[in-house]
Amino acid sequence: MPAPSTSFISTHDKSGVDMPSSKLQQQQQQRNTKNLGLRLGADLMSASCAASMVAPLIAIIDRSIMENASGRNTLSNSLKSSFRTLLLRPHTLIFSKPVALIFMLYGGTYLTANTLDTATSTQRNEPAPYVTTGTTKFAASSAANIGLCVYKDQVFVKLFGPGGPPRPVPLPSYLLFTMRDCLTIFASFNVPPLLGPALNERLGPALQNTVSGTTIAQFVAPAAVQVFSTPVHLLGLDMFNRPSAGGRGVSWGERWTQVRKNWVISTAARICRIVPAFGLGGTVNTKVRRNLMERLV
């Protein structure tokens, strides 16, 4: 009786061992997991750098808008007082609760956008500096920004509102703050990557060497949307400052008069805060992240 073929058995065993290994290698090649821990660290570092740069100025401006809307102080006097504190006692302001809240707000927003880019580049096997656009990024960034901003706003209105006994922020104010933040997030994270290439086409060669269309859009888009989001913000503040209690409700005409009264000056103030927040802060976050990620490719 002929002996069984050893070559047949060897070949069968080898193929049985190699198949799972090849599938595993193929799955690993479909994802970019190289330096994943360091990439997440770069996401955190770039978000922290950007947030720490803009937090003091934004805290000062937010306080002035809140105090002006509540009648507690004028916008100019509030700004003067805060900048005087920043100049004479900087540690008092920099390590204050309002600045910490702003750092939490924008650091969390930048970090959410960054980690989404890293997760997407890992899943799609893209290079580390890969940046996404679209609905997913808008939804994730909005969720983080709105959740943190609503918490920040309800603390700010209690700190810098009209005073009196503590009371909850009404649901309509929360909804209006949410609408305001959706407008800002869309203009800050989704518009610049789409508008940037169109602006690049209209820039001369000399200007393109100095600034990119995406950088211009990063500053212009968030600032321009404040014309529309500021009245939404002011209405939310007014519904907290002048709640409708009992049978003595505040009419919509009265609320519109109050919003219109503060619209121009508050829009200017919010542009001054949003340019650092999503213009300067967004640019710093993007560039620091890109520089760090390019070293990890």
- Confidence band, pLDDT 50/70/90 cuts, at residue 14: very low
Helices (H) and strands (E) in the chain, counts: 13, 0
Q: In this predicted model, what pLDDT tens digit does every residue of 59-115 receive, in sequence order?
A: 999 999 889 888 889 999 999 999 999 999 999 999 999 999 999 999 999 999 999
pLDDT at 20: 54
pLDDT at 19: 47
Counting residues of the chain whose pLDDT is more than 70, the rounded percentage is: 89
Q: Pick 135 or 43 by higher pLDDT.
A: 43
- CA distances 281 to 128, 150, 194, 288, Å, are 21, 20, 19, 10
pLDDT at 117: 93
Element (H, E) at 79: helix 75-88
The gap between the terminal CA atoms of the chain, to the nearest Å, is: 61
Q: Are 60 and 86 in contact (CB under 8 A)?
A: yes
The whole model's pTM is what? 0.73
Q: In this predicted model, what pLDDT tens digit does every residue of 229-268 receive, in sequence order?
A: 999 999 998 988 888 755 567 888 999 999 999 999 999 9
Q: In this predicted model, what pLDDT tens digit does every residue of 39-53 receive, in sequence order?
A: 999 999 999 999 999
Q: Are 131 and 115 in contact (CB under 8 A)?
A: no
Counting residues of the chain whose pLDDT is more than 90, the rounded percentage is: 41
Question: Nearest-CA neighbor of 162 among 256, 258, 84, 231?
Answer: 258
